[in-house]
Structure 1
Amino acid sequence: MNTTNPVLEALYGRRSIRKFTDQPVSHDELTAILEAGRWAPSGLNNQPYRFLVIHEDDARVAPLAECTKYGHIVKAAKVLICIFLDKQAMYSEMKDHQGAGACTQNMMLAAHSLGLGTVWLGEIINQQDQALEALSLPAEKYELQVVLALGHPDQSGNSKRNELSEYMLEDF
């Protein structure tokens, strides 16, 4: 793998981080991460994603943690970034969901490039109504896509991948 290219290095080096130090995440770091999400591609450039930043001392952390079996990660994060789709801004459900995924990936790569760790908490969307209620957001307007737990890593992430040939339908 090419690790001399900074973009490829970030792609290959990013890992899910589930434990965080007590060091705060700065406003500038958060802004850079949110800007990276804003620049994600979206169908027709409609940009239907919306963000909610929740800091560790926010009263909504505890009820949000009750919405997922990964509540311990929600409580441990210094910051949570909730990514939603604005239902009124959507034009194609599939394309808008793909755009939200690209937005999430952009944010995770931006965080990694800043020396921060994230983990994509997707299981929480199985409790969509409960999570929206915990955040005091209307279900008729927003659809929760993911909660990113964010902070300075207190662990090394690890991962492995299958060989590329296992994913290929044909040789190229």
Structure 2
Amino acid sequence: MIQNEIIETIETIETICSRRSVRKYTADSVSDEAVLTMLECARFAPSGLNNQPWRFIVVDDREIGRRLSELTHYSDIVASAPLLIAVFLDTDASYNRDKDLMAIGASIQNILLSAHSLGLGAVWLGEILKNKESVSKILNAPGSFELTAVVAVGHLDESDPGTAERKALDEIVFKNKY
């Protein structure tokens, strides 16, 4: 049993450290099973008081994706992604905005990690927030939903290696003992 736990821990760490933001995808659709797996992982993120303030609208319609792509500087990514997951804060479920936004960030990270584990590529898009009201209108989001991000997901186009460079620990950790 301990050996299996060690192997699972190593696999988890490898998944975290090898995940990259992927911005180019093939035209292949993402399976319903993969979508459900990513959403299951998202809902297991921690949240204050377990209020689970996140809400998701899944977009696999290319025409809606094209319309959304017109609302961001990153239009090529949005238009080419076979799957978009719009992530919202449900203000009716919110008890502390700051904590709830951090919880939503954790749910998005779970989407990114599960996508990577499934052999998919994904990227967290925030620039589209400048037009969040228009996004909400296109998606017919309820009035209590506030857009927090859009995640683009698809099968990796091998011409996109993703971004790997990270700052050294001594640049970001103070009182570093490593």
Q: Same fold per TM (> 0.5)?
A: yes
What residue number does 1:128 align with? 132
1:137 equivalent in alignment to 2:141: yes
Q: Which residue of 2 aligns with 1:49?
A: 54
CA distance in structure 2 between the aligned counterparts of 1:82 and 1:137, rounded to whole angstroms: 10
Give matches, 1:1-172, under 5 Å: 5-57=10-62, 59-138=63-142, 140-154=143-157, 155-172=160-177
Q: Structure 1 unaligned segments of length 5 or more: list them.
A: none
Q: Which moved more, 1:13-22 or 1:127-136?
A: 127-136
Partners in 2 of 1:111 and 1:85 — Cα distance? 21
The size of the alignment, in residue pairs, is: 167
Bigger drift between 101-110 and 21-30 goes to: 21-30
In structure 2, distance between residues paired with 1:56 and 1:42: 30
Q: Structure 2: which 5+ residue stretches go unaligned?
A: 1-8
Q: CA deviation at 1:160?
A: 0.6
Task: Give a deviation string over 1:116-166, Cα, whole Å, max 9, x none.
Answer: 00011111112121221222224x411101111000000221321111011
Q: Which moved more, 1:61-70 or 1:143-152?
A: 61-70
Structure 1 segments of 4 or more deviating over 3 A?
none
Find the residue that maps to 1:5 and give its secondary structure: helix
CA distance in 2, matches of 1:133, 1:56: 16
How far residue 71 of structure 1 moved from its aligned partner, in angstroms, is 1.3
Greater per-residue helix proportion: 2
* Percent identity of paired positions between Structure 1 and Structure 2: 43
